[in-house]
Structure 1
Amino acid sequence: MNAIIHILQTQSNGILEALGQHISISLISLFIAAIIAIPLAIILMTHKRIAEIILQITSILQTIPSLALLGILIPFVGIGTIPSIIALVVYAVMPIFQNTYSGLTTIDPNLEEAAEAFGLSRTKKLIKFQLPLAMPMIISGIRIAMVMIIGTATLAALIGAGGLGTYILLGIETNNNALLLIGAILSAILTLIFSALINGISKLSLKKIGILFSVVVVLFGGFAGYRSFVKPTVNVTIAGKMGSEPQILINMYKELIEQDHPNMKVSLKPNFGGTSFLYKALESGSVDIYPEFTGTVLESLVKTNKNVSHNPEKTYQVAKDLLKKQANMEYLKPMQYQNGYDLAVKRSFAKKYNLKTISDLVRVEHRLHAGFDPDFYQQSDGYPGIKKAYGLDLASVKTMEPSIRYKAIANGKVNIVDGYTTDPEIQEYDLVALKDDKNHFPPYQGAPLMTEKFAMKHPEIKTTLNKLSGKITTADMQKMNYLVTVKHEKASKVAHDYLVSKKLLK
């Protein structure tokens, strides 16, 4: 509780901004979904066959996982608010359409006949009694959609749209339950508040609802216009994958660029998700720079028939050349430390079965229940490669986010996890990183990745970011990760302190 109070006191501006983003995304999505679904249901109330087809289509759209839908949208509409709203509208249309259609088509036939006997036109019949009678069902659909939107909108943080999901993801990645609870509790409170408001709106007349709807649309439109007018121009957008280390690196990039080029404004998109999300965003121009590792480049981003060298310099040069040739990407000089994969078990487990190397795991593979990062589980240099190189076939494997897998092994839910050599959790949870005795894992050195087009346009940024070339040792990064993940210091502060200590910042 003390940690929550401390965060509320020290980060109130950021929390309010995230809350505002969440409300904005949610309401805009709800309005658009209602504008699409309600008129569509009215039009199709006398066309049962077409309505059933629409219901089937909207139901199928709801089965698409939200992360998959966001990934599909990135190449077409980029990152940020727009793809988030599109995804939320897709999910919200079905309950509103279904309830509106059901409400309009289940009215007592006797009332329909009475209306026709009085000679009411279709429009008057709709306004006078069909919509009022169907209103409880329509409001119920809107309420269901609202709850769904507020919950799903937390994932918008994965593509740089902000919102309360930023705190939930940050809490998960930095093992900070206070941040996680703040994001989750505020989301729940929002749901209750908006549910109550919608319930209150249901008691108003159609005329008052129309007026209220118009006022809200005008207010939101005016606010959005004002924000776009006063919002400072962003010259560079830098994103990072999930976790403390990418956050530290992108904050370093930001500080160095803004120091050397005061006329530039840098926007950060932390906790962006996995490699595929970020790379698509870079290709589409939604992101200008992000830190990537040499091993990941060769295993996931380029095509090569050659075996990956275990010489870091050769690995970097091959990755740089192939990125330039195959994808028109510019890969800057790498930092000193390597953040390679490892497999880790509890020290007590390693001692019990005398485990020192990955080869030793073959003796106890039937006892091994793994928790792996999604990237590690599917990349050829991850679990598939380990199975092939070591002939290792684990008893069971579950995929989970990085910080969760460490909690899982600490709580005994799994007994082996993948990790990185700079992870502070190895020390925190008293784990043993097993030796890669067959040298399966390739070198993993981090370096800024950008498109050739951006690099040619901004050669001065290349010069600035190359100041980090050969800097940051493994011990440096372990210490910084520990400060962010375990001590819960801000990534921006940790990055700033390092740059100052190395005299890279004035």
Structure 2
Amino acid sequence: MFDAIFEHLAISLSALLIAIVIAIPLAILLSQNKKMAEVVLQITSILQTIPSLALLGLLIPFVGIGTVPALIALVVYALLPIFQNTYIGLSEIDPSIEEAADAFGMSRTRKLFKVELPMAMPVIVSGVRTALVLIIGTATLAALIGAGGLGTFILLGIDRNDPSLTLIGAVSSALLAILFSGLIRFLQHRSMKATLIALAVIFLGIGGIFFAQHNPIAGETVTIAGKLGAEPDILINMYKDVIEDEDSSVNVELKPNFGKTSFLFSALQNNQIDIYPEFTGTVLESLVEVPEGTETDGSPDKTYEEANKLLKDQFDMQLLEPMEYENTYALAMRREQAESMGISKISDLVAHEGELRAGFTLEFIDREDGYRGIQEKYGLNFGSVQSMEPALRYQAIQNQDVDVIDGYSTDSEIKQYDLVTLEDDMRLFPPYQGAAIMRGEFANDHPNVVNALNRLAGKITEDQMIEMNYEVNVEGKQPAQVARDFLVKEKIIEEGN
């Protein structure tokens, strides 16, 4: 919780500082040029109308994921209120006061700091206050691209269907906004010197704590990230435990709920993370370019071999030996409805495609081994297909808002809601065995890490994974404890290590 708060504040206050450094000098420069000021106001107004998710999506191809695109987006949204208020505060100073300052023989610089800025300071600080409240609220979206912060709790609450987690993130963000808004309001009518000193103390304090948490001279850190959900969270905690058991000198940092597949792979390519759990089928379907004419026999072994080979050839990456279980895609229905309609396999859906409503994730809709592949291979086209976040589709089928959803074969919700998964009778979905993926250079430089992770090769059955997911999602156990309990029980690590 405290880590998330300081991440949130570090991102928010850094963005505010950058926006202040850009907007206030620009407004001062253009305060005597009304036409140019109006142009800048129009540009900043247009930038603020861009939806935050769209802006983040546009930035990712250029600057990757993580803190940098989040900072850029937040700065863009903060420019308008700071620039606008600074410009208004300076341009609406009584002309007679300006004339008096000139009569006293003040230089332009002296007049700015002794007369204009002190008089405009309440209006300027009001703009800073507005910008900070806007930034703190918008910064929750940073969690979508792996930048952390309180948005992590919101995403986790949605994924696990746990309103308490969502409330923790939302309420904490709101309280931070209220707290800092009140602080800036208190400073609004203080002297310019007092205001600048107070703001400097805040920035240095938060920056110091953030530096202490991410100290670049504290030694090498192995960064392990995971996708959103209980299963990736369990797996990265297993990775941490076996690595530290192998070599206690290794400092392992976990980044849970980092984002979707494309975000994680991009972060791995750009050295923002070192390892994350991936699936053999996902590598072939989404990450590598499979040469035309390449065929596998559909077996787990051949799928892994081909995925590892193409990763090495195209990205100089390595996929370690996979675990036993497969977390393959599946279509699921309410057991009662499937039995009453006589549906047990995907091809059975064709006869009822017009009357059944589907609820799929965006990723599944757009994948060749997802709905696009189902349409082509099975000739199946549902009359209604709604896109939704992963956790919401289980709520939707439970509430009978949809009839068919996509899922994973190890999802705890299949057990929790008494759903039935339909047989993939035309073998569309390739094998999906979980395995650690890393850059080839990292693997060569860290043989101890590779040896540690190879302890998990061939381990974890599908039933064991479903049970562990159930313990986290339904019984409310911590992923770290579930992971450790399994490793100790299976004698992969010793108790107490």
The 5-angstrom pairing of residues 75-474 of structure 1 reads 80-107=66-93, 121-127=107-113, 130-132=116-118, 134-223=120-209, 232-304=218-290, 305=292, 306=294, 309-474=297-462
Aligned length, in residue pairs:
492
Matches of 2:191 and 2:51, distance apart in 1: 37
Matches of 1:235 and 1:452, distance apart in 2: 17
Asked if the contact 1:483/1:494 (under 8 Å) is kept, the reply is yes
Identify if the C-alpha distance between structure 1 residues 377 and 107 changes in structure 2 by more than 3 Å, giving closer, same or farther. farther
Matches of 1:460 and 1:212, distance apart in 2: 48
The alpha carbon displacement at 1:118 in A equals 6.6
The alpha carbon displacement at 1:115 in A equals 5.8
Mean Cα deviation higher: 71-80 or 444-453 = 71-80
Matches of 1:23 and 1:394, distance apart in 2: 45
The alpha carbon displacement at 1:119 in A equals 5.8
Unpaired stretches in structure 2, ≥5 consecutive residues: none
What is the SS of the residue equivalent to 1:271?
Answer: strand
What is the SS of the residue equivalent to 1:237?
Answer: strand
Q: Which amino acid aligns with 1:236?
A: V
The alpha carbon displacement at 1:229 in A equals 5.3
The alpha carbon displacement at 1:459 in A equals 2.1
Q: Which amino acid aligns with 1:503?
A: K
What is the SS of the residue equivalent to 1:240?
Answer: strand
What is the SS of the residue equivalent to 1:496?
Answer: helix
What is the SS of the residue equivalent to 1:367?
Answer: coil
What is the SS of the residue equivalent to 2:190?
Answer: coil
Matches of 1:345 and 1:410, distance apart in 2: 10
Asked if the contact 1:30/1:149 (under 8 Å) is kept, the reply is yes
Q: Which amino acid aligns with 2:470?
A: Y
Q: Which amino acid aligns with 2:372?
A: P
Matches of 1:424 and 1:400, distance apart in 2: 18
1:8 alignment partner in structure 2: none
Identify if the C-alpha distance between structure 1 residues 387 and 50 changes in structure 2 by more than 3 Å, giving closer, same or farther. farther
Q: Deviations over 1:57-82 (max 9, x none)?
A: 43454455545655666677666545
- Tell me if 1:27 matches 2:7: no
What is the SS of the residue equivalent to 1:270?
Answer: strand
Q: Which amino acid aligns with 1:331?
A: L
1:12 alignment partner in structure 2: none
Asked if the contact 2:146/2:259 (under 8 Å) is kept, the reply is no
Asked if the contact 1:175/1:486 (under 8 Å) is kept, the reply is no
Identify if the C-alpha distance between structure 1 residues 223 and 252 changes in structure 2 by more than 3 Å, giving closer, same or farther. closer
Identify if the C-alpha distance between structure 1 residues 253 and 72 changes in structure 2 by more than 3 Å, giving closer, same or farther. farther
Asked if the contact 1:75/1:280 (under 8 Å) is kept, the reply is no
The alpha carbon displacement at 1:253 in A equals 0.7
The alpha carbon displacement at 1:419 in A equals 0.4
Q: Which amino acid aligns with 2:17?
A: F
**RMSD over aligned Cα atoms:** 2.7
1:7 alignment partner in structure 2: none
Give the structure-1-normalised TM-score.
0.89
What is the SS of the residue equivalent to 1:366?
Answer: coil
The alpha carbon displacement at 1:108 in A equals 5.8
Identify if the C-alpha distance between structure 1 residues 411 and 132 changes in structure 2 by more than 3 Å, giving closer, same or farther. farther
Q: Which amino acid aligns with 2:71?
A: I
The alpha carbon displacement at 1:301 in A equals 0.6
Asked if the contact 2:327/2:410 (under 8 Å) is kept, the reply is yes
Q: Deviations over 1:298-356 (max 9, x none)?
A: 11111112356421111111111111111111111111111111112223432443322
Unpaired stretches in structure 1, ≥5 consecutive residues: 1-14
Identify if the C-alpha distance between structure 1 residues 224 and 248 changes in structure 2 by more than 3 Å, giving closer, same or farther. closer
Identify if the C-alpha distance between structure 1 residues 226 and 178 changes in structure 2 by more than 3 Å, giving closer, same or farther. closer
Q: Which amino acid aligns with 2:153?
A: Y
The alpha carbon displacement at 1:137 in A equals 4.0
Matches of 1:356 and 1:258, distance apart in 2: 45
Q: Deviations over 1:159-202 (max 9, x none)?
A: 44432222222222222222222222111111111222222121
Mean Cα deviation higher: 324-333 or 57-66 = 57-66
Asked if the contact 2:228/2:259 (under 8 Å) is kept, the reply is yes
Asked if the contact 1:75/1:281 (under 8 Å) is kept, the reply is no
Q: Which amino acid aligns with 2:485?
A: D
Q: Deviations over 1:180-237 (max 9, x none)?
A: 2222211111111122222212121223222323333444455555555597434311
